Amino acid sequence: MIITAALLLVARPKFALALSPITSGPTFAKVIALTFDDGPHPFHTPQLLDLLDSFQIKATFFVVGVKAAENPFILKNIVKRGHVLGNHSWSHPNLSKLEGKEVEEQIRFCNQAIKAITETPPRFFRPPGGNWNNRTLDIANKLGLQTVLWTINGYDAGFDSYSPQALAKTVIRRATPGAIVLLHDGGNFTLAALPLIINTLRKEGYSFVTLEQMLHKPIKPISLAHSN
Ligand SMILES: [Zn+2]
C-alpha cells in the first residue's frame, strides 16, 4: 500500500499531446494562467519577475530562442523563481510562411537553447504572432511540444492608443475559469496593468497558475487558492 502511494506521488500523469492547439484549461476551477511572450529581455524581465514574486504568482514565459541564448542568466532566473518556460521559436518569424525544414529548425533550435541553459526541455509551444497551420502543429508535435494559444489576448503589444487601464479591463472583463491570458514580456505598459488585473481577479476568487499546473496536474481548487 505504501509502495503504491509512493509510486503515485512520483509518477507524472502521462500527457497526451493534442494535435489541435489548446486555447484554454479545464473550466471547473477558478484558475487563470498568465503567459508572457517574446522575452527574455535584459531590463524588462527582471522587473516582471520581481512583480510576480511580490504577488506570489507563478506564470509561463514563451521565450524566443535567440533572446534566451543572449540572456542565459535571466532565463535560468525565470525557472529558479518557479515559472514555466515555453518555446516561441528561434527568431520569431511567421512560421506559416516558411518551408517545413525552416519551421522544424525554428522550433528545434529554441528547444535546444532552453534545454542547454536550463537543463529542461520545454513542453509547450506558441507560434509567433499566433500564425500556424497543420504543418506547424505536426512539427511541434513531433518535437514533443503541445501547441498552446490563448483564451484572452491582452493586446499589450503594438497598440499605441491603448492604456494600461484599458489592457486591465480587457483581461478582467473576459476572465473565465481556465482562461489562458496572452501578455508580453515587454515593458512598463504591461507591468503597470498587472497589479490591477491580479488584484481584481483575486477579489473575484481567481488563482493564478502555470500552464504546467493548469494542463498537466490535477487541479485542486482549494490547495491552489492557498498557494496563490
Ligand atoms: Zn510573439
Banded pLDDT at 157 (limits 50, 70, 90): confident
Q: What is the mean pLDDT of residues 91-97?
A: 97
Task: Identify any residues that bridge with 147 across adjacent strands, giving them in sequence order.
Answer: 125
Phi, psi of 116 (to 5 degrees): -65, -35
Residue ranges near ligand 1 (ion) with Cβ within 5 Å: 37-38, 128
In angstroms, what is the span from residue 6 Cα to ligand 1's centroid? 40
For residue 164, the surrounding DSSP H or E stretch is: helix 164-174
Q: Which domain holds residue 199?
A: 17-227
Residue 22 domain-assigned? yes
In angstroms, what is the span from residue 224 Cα to ligand 1's centroid? 29
SS3 (DSSP) at 36:
strand
Banded pLDDT at 18 (limits 50, 70, 90): low
d(CA 59, CA 52): 8
pLDDT in tens, 23-42: 999 999 999 999 999 999 99
Q: What is the mean pLDDT of residues 174-189?
A: 92
Residue 10 domain-assigned? no
Rg, the chain, Cα only: 17
User: What are the residue numbers of the active site?
Assistant: 37, 184
For residue 64, is pLDDT > 90?
A: yes
Counting the structural domains of the chain, the total is 1
d(CA 82, CA 78): 7
Residue 135 domain-assigned? yes
We report the CATH number of the domain holding residue 95 as 3.20.20.370
Q: What is the mean pLDDT of residues 186-199?
A: 91
Residue 25 domain-assigned? yes
Report whether 140 contacts 29 (CB < 8 A).
Answer: no
| Percent helix / strand / coil, the chain, rounded to 5 | 45, 15, 40
Q: Specify the pTM.
A: 0.87
The residue assigned the cell 514533443 is: 144
Task: Answer with the residue of higher pLDDT: 14 or 17.
Answer: 17
C-alpha cell belonging to residue 220: 485542486
